[in-house]
Amino acid sequence: MTGSLSIFLPDGDSPNTDSLNTLAATITSTASANLDVSVVVPTFREVENLTTLTEQLFAALHERSLTGELIVVDDNSCDGTIELCQRLAETYPIRLVVRTEERGLATAVIRGFSEASGTYVVVMDADLSHPPTAVPTLLETLQTNQADFVIGSRYVKGGTIDESWSIFRRINSRVAGFLATGLTSAKDPMAGFFAIRRSQLGDVTRLNPCGYKIGLETIVRCECKSVAEVPIHFEDRQFGESKLNLKEQWLYVRHLLRLYAFRYPEACRFMTFGAVGLSGMIVDLVTFSSLTPSLGLSAARAAAIWVAMTWNFELNRRVTFKTSAKSSIAAAYVRFCTACLTGAALSWGTFVGLTSLSESFRNQPVATAVVGTFAAAIVNYVLCRSWVFVTGKPQQLEAAPVAVTPDILTLDKEERPAQPPTRIAA
């Protein structure tokens, strides 16, 4: 179970001072191909935890005759992680990637995915919150349950959490999980301990997280249909500091919105269209009340409707249907006004039709008007989508995926070592 560890300089560089500008920060082992599992561990200042994690992990794999590698993706912790990995690699197949230009748990895991070579990939924290002894069970569940994704779960029967976990953390975790219920039925979708087939990951550049919930991101974007959960005991960290902060919570909300837009693109687009419509109503009322004193009621009404319609057109063009194929703005504007008039006629026709049909509609004129408005909104949306703004696929509303950083990374100037570690072989 030994591996050799090397730090590489980029091709063509000699170990002089200039070449330090591009000091390679990828440490690789010569672990054999055809591994059962690559275990990806993102780290930031976890040097106190790495030895125990490595020992327990490889003992667990060895016990079940599984072959594996540990891929540590460190964001230049400068806490002795590099040196420790060098020492550990004398005994264990470890690869270390040190990123110097990027920070973040989720992108670190994606980097680990791109380095993985095992049939299966497991992701876990370095802080010993996730029991390494559970890794073989996750892999067995992946095989025997025909699952696409297996979570080491705190919230299925048998799962437990360290008693020292504060009430705030508990509520936070539960609420965050609840908010994701439209994306997965898993009980612990927030977990950072999971296993997946490498083939299921596919092209990892399509992963596009904006927070630290890489497990949820992977379930949604890699379209994992069946998600299984294995109970674990979640231990609170003994050493090192937590990286969970308020900014991460805010990023999680943004991340959720992105994932919902990815999973339900049409519904999200319709809701955006509705929000634009509501903003148009406000513009309409404000314009109407400000123009009435100078223009009089009739002219002010006509001007307000026109201003609101133009407002809606611009917002829909820029936001709701921003992926439209490029067409003349003037032509699209004329089509939009036609669609609005069609919607208005339908709204009026529905109101008149329903109230003349039945006494109960006549008794509820406001509710009947709402029915007409809703019907008009749907027709208006369909016209906008298929005619006014000829759209691309809704998924294209997504931002560009996170780029996977190259193997050879640049260290910040002040962090360059005095002598280049040209090649350290253990």
Ligand X SMILES: Nc1nc2c(ncn2[C@@H]2O[C@H](COP(=O)(O)OP(=O)(O)OP(=O)(O)O)[C@@H](O)[C@H]2O)c(=O)[nH]1
According to DSSP, residue 148 is labeled S
Q: How far apart are CA 384 and CA 335, in angstroms?
A: 8
Q: Please report where in the chains the tokens 């319709």 appear, as a residue.
A: 270
- Range 378-385, long-range pairs (CB < 8 A, 24+ positions): 379/342, 379/343, 379/346, 380/339, 380/340, 380/342, 380/343, 381/270, 381/273, 383/339, 383/342, 383/343, 384/273, 384/316, 384/320, 384/321, 384/336, 384/339, 385/269, 385/321
Comparing CB distances to ligand X, the nearer of 244 and 357 is: 244
Q: What ranges make up the beta strands (E) of 169-260?
A: 194-197, 227-231, 233-234
Comparing CB distances to ligand X, the nearer of 117 and 249 is: 249
Give the shortest CB-292-to-ligand X separation in angstroms.
56
Q: Which does 261 bind (CB under 5 to 8 A by kind): ligand X, Mg ion, none?
A: none
Give the shortest CB-192-to-ligand X separation in angstroms.
6
Give the shortest CB-146-to-ligand X separation in angstroms.
29
Q: How far apart are CA 192 and CA 212, in angstroms?
A: 9
Give the shortest CB-402-to-ligand X separation in angstroms.
13
Comparing CB distances to Mg ion, the nearer of 73 and 354 is: 73
For the chain, the C-alpha Rg in angstroms (whole number) is 28
CB count in 10 Å sphere of residue 363: 10
CB count in 10 Å sphere of residue 208: 19
Does residue 6 interact with Mg ion by CB under 5 A? Answer: no
In 3D, which of 185, 207, 196, 204 has the Cα closest to residue 150? Answer: 196
Q: Which does 243 bind (CB under 5 to 8 A by kind): Mg ion, ligand X, none?
A: ligand X
Comparing CB distances to ligand X, the nearer of 125 and 217 is: 125
Give the shortest CB-169-to-ligand X separation in angstroms.
7
Give the shortest CB-200-to-ligand X separation in angstroms.
22
How many residues in the shown chain lie near Mg ion by CB under 5 A?
A: 3
Comparing CB distances to Mg ion, the nearer of 234 and 351 is: 234
Helix (H, G, I), strand (E, B) or coil at 229: strand
- Contact positions toward ligand X, by CB under 6 A? 42-44, 46, 73-75, 103-105, 108, 125-127, 129, 192, 237, 242-244
Q: Which does 208 bind (CB under 5 to 8 A by kind): Mg ion, ligand X, none?
A: none
Comparing CB distances to ligand X, the nearer of 109 and 315 is: 109
Q: Which does 73 bind (CB under 5 to 8 A by kind): ligand X, Mg ion, none?
A: ligand X
Comparing CB distances to ligand X, the nearer of 50 and 219 is: 50
Q: How far apart are CA 103 and CA 156, in angstroms?
A: 32
- Which are the contacts of 179, defined by CB distance < 8 A and separation ≥ 6? 253, 256
Query: Among 129, 141, 347, 380, which residue sits at the site for Mg ion (rule: CB under 5 A)?
Result: 129
Q: Which does 112 bind (CB under 5 to 8 A by kind): Mg ion, ligand X, none?
A: none
Dmax (CA) for the chain in angstroms is 91
Calculate the CA 201 to chain-centre distance. Answer: 14
Comparing CB distances to ligand X, the nearer of 243 and 301 is: 243
Calculate the CA 169 to chain-centre distance. Answer: 21
Residue nearest to ligand X (CB): 242
Does residue 13 interact with Mg ion by CB under 5 A? Answer: no
Does residue 69 interact with Mg ion by CB under 5 A? Answer: no
Positions in 264-283 near Mg ion (CB under 5 A):
none
Q: How far apart are CA 73 and CA 53, in angstroms?
A: 14
Does residue 125 interact with Mg ion by CB under 5 A? Answer: yes
Does residue 49 interact with Mg ion by CB under 5 A? Answer: no
Tokens encoding 405 = 């950083």
Give the shortest CB-127-to-ligand X separation in angstroms.
4
Give the shortest CB-111-to-ligand X separation in angstroms.
8
In 3D, which of 41, 34, 35, 8 has the Cα closest to residue 22? Answer: 8
Query: Bridge-partner residues for 379, per DSSP?
Result: none
Does residue 127 interact with Mg ion by CB under 5 A? Answer: yes
Tokens encoding 228 = 């299984």
Give the shortest CB-213-to-ligand X separation in angstroms.
10
Comparing CB distances to ligand X, the nearer of 168 and 366 is: 168
Does residue 115 interact with Mg ion by CB under 5 A? Answer: no
According to DSSP, residue 405 is labeled P
User: What residues make contact with Mg ion under the rule CB under 5 A?
Assistant: 125, 127, 129
